[in-house]
């Protein structure tokens, strides 16, 4: 499996630090509003990378934070006359609903910046002790000149960067030693949330949050650090400077960055006001369509949002769902169990190989989707009333399996078959007899999710669709 590493600007064979395991950190959103579909791009593409690595047998420890202390959150809280915590909690909940709708697997951990302040103060202390940070009037700055590798991720030329900042230096407003230095800790202003520290009552800078949360939940050395390409500089560059100076080891082996989701060829962003929220899209489309749309391009290519592309994603997804639906109908009446003469038991092999080849090549989901379409085309032209159950089941399983790796749900929820329901109910009865109540409850919940209501009657369990 090859991954394009921003650090080396090359595709590299993926070799994890610890065999069979992946430690992955993805920078999460700042929670002061509903997320927009630009924010959804990294969520979807890195969730898909995770799913593929899990399919390949890796155990993935996937950590993604919520930035819940920030100027924008404070501003919104002041506008509404509520606490910052109320704003961040509200939008974390809303974000989780959107993520669920996009079928994004819950992270192993979703740390909150405000709950990790102690760790941040510990790292700041170490940085000061090692000479990588200094305090001035309650503010702590990172001393970039001391970190020899500063600029290694963004490949920025330090002289150019310094020149860009010279004007600040000239005004003399800045108390930094060097215009490139950045804030690790800053004193509170009136009405802002704060924490006590040796330097001032204040709050952390944004970059230190991710360095500390990655360290706490994944360790000093991680395999993959990911986010949108706007985070390369300064956010990720600064994370490297902090973590590597404090921990004394390489922070992340691979750095992955998604390209922008654009609208009219401009980056979609809150500040430009040209965004669409995931919530708005969900009013018009099943969010599976949004997911399918995002995966129809390679994650490192810019993607332009348009109604036309959404419509073609909707049609593409419908083609797959219809094929699976058709297989379900054929299965209801199929007579023969085993593969028949003329049916190729290994029909899916070539398509699966093509899918894997695409995904092994830096998660090329666009080509992986093409492989799924080819499989669907084969199935559509070979499955019919005379097909065996073995063939129909295999066809359904293979399509579902590949789509599941992409996080695309292809079974219509309401389309759970009566037979499947009856079997699950039988299994539940048995589980209850065996006093395996956990399994019994799990089955009841699973059916409830599909809109099936169970009723215990004197004649036994009856069910109906919601
Ligand atoms: P933010 O809440 O702005 O910190 O962004 C959260 C994540 O969304 C980061 O990984 C950003 O790089 C990413 N992001 C924001 N806008 C876009 C966009 N238009 N296209 C792709 N990724 C984006
Ligand atoms: Zn981050």
CB 120 within 8 A of CB 204: yes
Give residue-wise pLDDT tens across range 209-251: 999 999 999 999 999 999 999 999 999 999 999 999 999 999 9
Question: Residue 189: is it exposed, middle or buried by C-beta count within 10 angstroms (0-12/13-18/19+)?
Answer: exposed
Task: Report if residue 312 sits inside a domain.
Answer: yes
Task: Report if residue 81 sits inside a domain.
Answer: yes
pLDDT of res. 214: 98
64 lines ligand 1 (CB under 6 A): no
Query: Are residue 325 and residue 449 in the same domain, yes or no?
Result: no
**Ligand nearest to the CA of residue 210, numbered in listed order:** 2
228 lines ligand 1 (CB under 6 A): yes
| Residue range(s) defining the domain that contains residue 395 | 307-405
43 lines ligand 1 (CB under 6 A): no
Query: Are residue 366 and residue 446 in the same domain, yes or no?
Result: no
| d(CA 247, ligand 1 centre) in Å | 28
| d(CA 96, ligand 1 centre) in Å | 16
pLDDT of res. 174: 73
Distance CA 89, CA 427 (A): 39
Task: Report if residue 384 sits inside a domain.
Answer: yes
Last residue of a domain, one of 405, 427, 450: 405
Question: Could you give phi then psi for residue 371, rounded to 5 degrees?
Answer: -65, -40
Looking at every residue in the chain, the average pLDDT score rounds to 94
Q: Buried b vs exposed e over 372-387: b needs ≥16 C-beta within 10 Å?
A: beebbebbeeebeeeb
**Ligand nearest to the CA of residue 261, numbered in listed order:** 1
pLDDT of res. 414: 43
Distance CA 447, CA 461 (A): 13
Percentage helix, strand, coil, to 5, in the chain? 50, 15, 35
Beta strands in 259-395 (DSSP E): 261-263, 266-267, 303-305
Q: How many domains does the chain have?
A: 3
Ligand 1: which atom is nearest the Cα of residue 275?
A: 19
Query: Are residue 10 and residue 129 in the same domain, yes or no?
Result: yes
Distance CA 173, CA 171 (A): 5
Which one of 35, 39, 263 would you pick to mutate in the ligand 1 pocket, going by the greatest count of ligand atoms within 8 A of its CB? Answer: 39
Is the alpha carbon torsion for 98, 100, 101, 105 positive or negative? positive
Beta strands in 50-177 (DSSP E): 59-64, 133-136, 139-142
pLDDT of res. 168: 52
Query: Are residue 161 and residue 207 in the same domain, yes or no?
Result: yes
What value, to the nearest 5°, has the Cα angle with vertex 182 and ends 180 and 185? Answer: 165
Distance CA 87, CA 33 (A): 8
Last residue of a domain, one of 200, 233, 258: 258
Cα–Cα distances in angstroms (integers) from residue 53 to residues 191, 209, 254, 291, 383, in the given order: 45, 26, 14, 18, 31
**Helix, strand counts (H, E) of the chain:** 15, 15
Query: Are residue 105 and residue 202 in the same domain, yes or no?
Result: yes
Q: Are strands 252-258 and 222-228 parallel, antiparallel or unpaired?
A: parallel
Task: Report if residue 90 sits inside a domain.
Answer: yes
268 lines ligand 1 (CB under 6 A): yes
Cα–Cα distances in angstroms (integers) from residue 176 to residues 134, 149, 167, 286, 407, in the given order: 9, 20, 13, 50, 47
Distance CA 227, CA 375 (A): 32
pLDDT of res. 460: 81
CATH number of the domain bearing residue 347? 1.20.120.640
Report the SS3 class of residue 21: strand
Query: Are residue 316 and residue 180 in the same domain, yes or no?
Result: no
Task: Report if residue 292 sits inside a domain.
Answer: no
DSSP 413: G
Task: Report if residue 143 sits inside a domain.
Answer: yes
CB 175 within 8 A of CB 137: yes
| d(CA 228, ligand 1 centre) in Å | 5
Residue nearest to atom 12 of ligand 1 (CA): 228
| Start-to-end Cα distance in the chain | 44
| d(CA 2, ligand 1 centre) in Å | 24
Query: Are residue 209 and residue 161 in the same domain, yes or no?
Result: yes
- The H or E element containing residue 5 is strand 2-5
pLDDT of res. 451: 78
Query: Are residue 225 and residue 339 in the same domain, yes or no?
Result: no
Distance CA 130, CA 246 (A): 8
277 lines ligand 1 (CB under 6 A): no
Distance CA 184, CA 126 (A): 12
Name the residue among 44, 237, 37, 60 with its Cα closest to residue 150: 237
Query: Are residue 116 and residue 208 in the same domain, yes or no?
Result: yes
111 lines ligand 1 (CB under 6 A): no
pTM score: 0.88
Task: Report if residue 288 sits inside a domain.
Answer: no
- The H or E element containing residue 412 is none
Task: Give the torsion through C-alpha atoms of 457, 461, 464, 465, to 10 deg.
Answer: 140
Last residue of a domain, one of 379, 405, 431: 405
Alpha carbon 374 to chain centroid, angstroms: 27
Query: Are residue 250 and residue 318 in the same domain, yes or no?
Result: no
Q: Are strands 222-228 and 21-26 parallel, antiparallel or unpaired?
A: parallel
Question: What residues pair up with 204 in beta bridges, in sequence order?
Answer: 185
Residue nearest to atom 17 of ligand 1 (CA): 38
Alpha helices (H) along 187-306:
206-218, 237-247, 278-284, 287-295
Distance CA 348, CA 362 (A): 23
Distance CA 187, CA 190 (A): 10
41 lines ligand 1 (CB under 6 A): yes
Segments of the chain scoring below 50 in pLDDT = 414
Report the SS3 class of residue 95: helix
pLDDT of res. 458: 81
83 lines ligand 1 (CB under 6 A): no
pLDDT of res. 413: 56
Distance CA 341, CA 236 (A): 58
pLDDT of res. 354: 98
Query: Are residue 196 and residue 239 in the same domain, yes or no?
Result: yes
Ligand 1: which atom is nearest the Cα of residue 27?
A: 10
Cis before 234? omega within 30: yes
pLDDT of res. 464: 82
Query: Are residue 66 and residue 188 in the same domain, yes or no?
Result: yes
Task: Report if residue 343 sits inside a domain.
Answer: yes
């Amino acid at each position: 499996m090859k991954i394009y590493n921003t650090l080396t600007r090359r595709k590299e064979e993926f070799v994890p630090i610890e065999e069979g395991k992946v430690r992955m950190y993805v920078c999460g959103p700042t929670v002061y509003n509903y997320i927009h579909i630009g924010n959804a791009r990294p969520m979807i593409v890195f969730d898909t990378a995770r799913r593929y690595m899990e399919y390949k047998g890796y155990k993935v420890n996937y950590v993604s934070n919520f930035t819940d202390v920030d100027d924008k959150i404070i501003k919104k809280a002041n506008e509404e006359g509520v606490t910052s915590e109320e704003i961040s909690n509200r939008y974390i909940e809303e974000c989780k609903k959107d993520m669920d709708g996009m079928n994004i697997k819950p992270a192993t951990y979703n740390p909150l910046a405000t709950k990790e302040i102690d760790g941040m103060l510990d790292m700041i202390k170490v940085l000061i002790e090692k000479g990588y940070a200094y305090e001035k009037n309650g503010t702590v700055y990172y001393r970039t000149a001391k970190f020899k590798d500063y600029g290694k991720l963004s490949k920025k030329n330090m002289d150019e960067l310094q020149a860009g900042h010279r004007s600040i230096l000239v005004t003399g407003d800045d108390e930094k030693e060097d215009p490139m230095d950045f804030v690790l800790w800053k004193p509170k202003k009136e009405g802002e949330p704060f924490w006590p520290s040796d330097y001032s009552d204040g709050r952390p800078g944004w970059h230190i949050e991710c360095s500390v949360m990655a360290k706490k939940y994944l360790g000093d050395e991680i395999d993959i650090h990911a986010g949108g390409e706007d985070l390369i500089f300064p956010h990720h560059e600064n994370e490297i400077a902090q973590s590597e100076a404090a921990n004394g080891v390489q922070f992340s082996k691979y750095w992955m960055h998604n390209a922008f989701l654009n609208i009219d060829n401009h980056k979609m962003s809150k500040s430009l006001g040209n965004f669409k929220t995931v919530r708005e899209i969900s009013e018009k489309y099943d969010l599976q369509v949004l997911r399918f749309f995002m995966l129809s391009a390679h994650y490192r290519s810019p993607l332009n949002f348009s109604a036309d592309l959404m419509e073609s994603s909707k049609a593409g997804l419908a083609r797959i769902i219809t094929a699976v639906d058709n297989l379900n109908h054929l299965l209801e009446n199929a007579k023969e169990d085993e593969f028949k003469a003329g049916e190729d038991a290994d029909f899916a092999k070539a398509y699966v190989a093509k899918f894997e080849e695409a995904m092994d090549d830096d998660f090329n989901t666009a080509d992986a989707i093409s492989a799924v379409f080819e499989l669907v085309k084969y199935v559509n032209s070979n499955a019919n009333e005379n097909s065996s159950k073995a063939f129909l089941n295999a066809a359904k399983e293979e399509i579902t399996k590949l789509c599941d790796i992409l996080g695309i749900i292809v079974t219509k929820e309401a389309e759970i078959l009566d037979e499947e329901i009856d079997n699950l109910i039988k299994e539940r009865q048995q589980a209850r007899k065996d006093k395996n109540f956990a399994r019994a409850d799990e089955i009841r919940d699973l059916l409830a999710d599909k809109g099936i209501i169970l009723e215990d009657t004197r004649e036994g369990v009856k069910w109906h669709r919601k």
